[in-house]
A = this chain, B = another copy of it.
């Protein structure tokens, strides 16, 4: 049974950040490697985080973006995927192909969806005939497959979970406005729900989605100085409408092509949560997405065991009935100290300890996950304390992440300095950019850094590009996950 045992210690962040990341995932039982190359299993604790994040985003997608959910097929006929030239060029190298159904060889190969534009547009072409059918606002939660060469749990896996929105509009302006509204919705989701600060802007031609007119994105800076693309919102223009024949009769009875958007956020946000908030003791979860917000650990002595267990369970039941996700760890055979470490590693925001002395004094000891600050709380004030604590803790995590992101962002004018910084723990380097693809390509080749976004808000930036030419705009450079 030896090989079945889990790892028992977490590598320090400073020692090896990548190993720390993998250790946390295995030790907190967030995910496990599957027996298929590049695939993972999302275990119940990891999936609990995903369910909460998904529900929070789903609420925004319905309420703020006005979408309804639907479900489109997993399979896309090869000929459909090949209709939009840029799209197929971008995705074909990473498609998994179904060639046989039962004992039969298929006449046409089927792609497992790497993204669903092709199959969805073929349906939209049937459903849309008049301006009265627009805007059409649909979202899908699904699994997608991209045959990746190098994989890492949550961040890049052959199969992953995501949502993909696909909307159709009457005009370029309306589609552009919607694309930017989604970008704002994603920003709100990351800042408010996940406590992850993100920067946002437009992607360069080189980095945009295969088939889009323009791609906007939110990017989050990880503690190791690398940027994570956390969500993208594409204005597809009429690229897909023209090849899939999505036309409608406008108010003047004229037949015209429609305008489209698509946008997505995936299960990689769990990777972003782990890295943004975790520390050397393990995970640290924002209360809004924590499967367990409060853990009660009974302090057991033989003489008072039954009383303490009863009181602990009663407390947990009370808190749960008030909508606080609370768990009591009443397992036998583990010390209180082992349990403290276990729940810290799982990132539970607050621990409550209930011992015999607490019963006498009518108190409970609370311990915060971030700074381990201890506080005795009167027993009848526990629920009120927690209701204040959880949103405050959410804010504290955001502030901590924001400060680090700021510390990891700097303006660089000189290409020599830029190259030097990119060799360390670079963070975001803001430079001026001439806008030439060749210049961007050269910088990428020489430093592995890419333009993460071109900011939309006005900001000061160096007058010269890293290549020496006149800068037309600012650019956030970083090495990316």
Chain A residues with CB under 8 Å of chain B are 1, 4-5, 32, 34-36, 39-44, 47-48, 50-51, 68-77, 80, 92-103, 109-110, 112, 119, 122-123, 126-129, 132, 138, 142-143, 145, 147, 158-159, 161, 247, 249, 255, 333
Contacts and interface: CB of A to CB of B under 8 A. Distances in A.
A101 B43 contact: no
Contacts of A147: 101-102
16 contacts: A1-B129, A32-B123, A32-B126, A34-B119, A41-B70, A41-B72, A44-B68, A48-B69, A74-B143, A93-B103, A96-B102, A97-B101, A101-B158, A102-B147, A112-B112, A143-B143
B159 A75 contact: yes
Given A143-B74, A143-B143, A69 B96 contact: no
B47 A68 contact: yes
Question: How many copies of this protein are present in the complex?
Answer: 2
Among A96, A101, A102, max chain B CB count under 10 A is at A101
Contact of A74 (B145, B249, B255): B145
Given A36-B77, A69-B51, A99-B100, A138 B44 contact: yes
Contacts of A40: 73
A334 to B, nearest CB: 10
Given A39-B73, A47-B68, 14 more contacts: A1-B129, A4-B128, A32-B126, A34-B119, A36-B76, A41-B72, A41-B73, A73-B159, A74-B74, A93-B103, A98-B98, A99-B99, A132-B333, A142-B143
A285 B43 CA distance: 35
A48 B67 CA distance: 12
Contacts of A110: 36, 96
